[in-house]
Amino acid sequence: MLSCQQISLEISSKKLFEISITLLPGSIVIIRGANGVGKSSLLRIFAGLQEPSAGIVLWNNALLQEAVKPFATYIGHNIGIKDELTVFENLVFWSRLYNSENMLQAAIHYFDLMDILPDKVFTLSAGNRQKIAIARLLACNADLWLLDEVETHFDERNTLLLHNAICAKANNAGIIIMTSHDALRFKQAIEINIEDFCA
Amino acid sequence: MHNLLLLLRHDFLVQNSIFHMIKANIQLLLLTMISIAFLYDGSANLTEHVLIFLVVSIPIATITYARPMIKVDVTDGAMDSMILASGIWRIIMCKFLFLAIRLSPFSYHYR
């Protein structure tokens, strides 16, 4: 369970938002809003990568800093994949870091990455790189997924695969929080327009 | 411990692919050996020569190596994910250890 109590973010003395929310296992939350309103910052606050100006974030009733790691996976605009390594080396590293090597093969097969496994990442197209980022998500066992516009560069088929992966994660008691433009729609998703929480 | 070794191994793989670390370290080792051989005139104490060399070269090498090592992880987003998976102190420890390994050719001469 993720709970945020009156978290706010101030940048250059300007308050961007103030929000309180509690998310139960199985929740899918889509954060929407115009550019610069703080969508990515809010995701980073949920991840514990950025401190809010005020308020606290709790993961399973413990402060984020005290929560047992790894509890979350985050994919931002920079996808965290090393260009100089092969696709396989990247995926193996992340799955080992999350102690979930058993999920590696499933992640590879889900996105049909067999043919590009020995390729260095810098040789791949933007769409394929994004596929590796999402495959990393599947290969890492974490209860909280934080996704920052991850469907960018995806074609219709891969968007559908991503959609199904998110639904499956939610059905397995995961919590998914994502920023997205219009590509992804979920029946059970909670949509938050962050502009409604702007001060 | 397992995570620390994993992070170290990953750093080694990445740094070696970007900077050809093994080749660079061998070049550095040869360079320092040749430099000391030239500096040493036979009458002076060799330890003093090496000590002066280390005082100058180790801080320069530390700054030169540390900056790209951390910058690469920050710019490609891997640092965020590593912090989430492993915790910040383990990453700092890993970077220090890795830096020590990278600088080991310098210490070789002092031994």
Residues in chain A within 8 Å Cβ distance of B3: 97
The nearest CA of chain A is from the CA of B54 a distance in Å of 32
The residue range of the domain holding B31 is: 2-110
B13 closest CB neighbour out of A48, A78, A85: A85
The pTM assigned to this predicted structure is 0.83
Q: What is the mean pLDDT of residues B35-59?
A: 71
Distance of CA A95 to the CA centre of its chain: 16
Considering Cα of B99, then B103, then B104, then B107, what sign does the dihedral take? negative
Q: pLDDT at position A95, please?
A: 93
CA distances from A181 to A17, A152, A156, A184, A191 (A): 19, 9, 14, 7, 11
Per-residue pLDDT at B40: 67
Of B17, B18, B76, the CB nearest to A80: B76
**Residue B105: predicted pLDDT:** 58
Q: Count of domains in chain B?
A: 1
Which tens digits make up the pLDDT trace of A133-173? 999 999 998 999 999 988 888 888 888 899 999 999 999 99
Size of interface A-B (CB pairs under 8 A): 63
Band (B109; pLDDT cuts 50, 70, 90): very low
Q: What is the pLDDT of residue A171?
A: 92
| Residue A119 reports pLDDT greater than 60 | yes
Interface of B with A in 26-55 (CB under 8 A): none
Burial string for A102-118 (b: 16+ CB within 10 Å, else e) reads ebbeebbebbebeebee
Q: How many Å lie between the alpha carbon of A17 and the closest alpha carbon of chain B?
A: 23
Going by pLDDT thresholds of 50, 70 and 90, the confidence category of residue A74 is very high
Give residue B42's pLDDT: 65
- Chain A residues touching B77 at Cβ < 8 A: 75-80
Cβ–Cβ below 8 Å for B77 and A70: no
The closest of B67, B69, B58, B56 to B13, measured between CA atoms, is: B69
Are the CB atoms for A107 and A165 separated by under 8 Å?
Answer: no
Q: Predicted confidence band at B111 (pLDDT cuts at 50, 70, 90)?
A: very low
CA distance B23 to chain A (A): 17
pLDDT digits (tens, 9 = 90+) for A4-13: 988 998 888 8
Task: Return the pLDDT at B110.
Answer: 43
For residue A120, what is the DSSP state? B
**Is A84–B82 a contact, with Cβ atoms under 8 angstroms apart?**
no
- The dihedrals phi and psi of A86, each to the nearest 5 degrees, come to -80, 165
B8 touches chain A (CB under 8 A): no
pLDDT at A120 over 80: yes
In this predicted structure, the answer to whether residue A194 has a pLDDT above a threshold of 80 is yes
Q: Which of A24, A30, A28, A29 is nearest to A1 (CA)?
A: A24
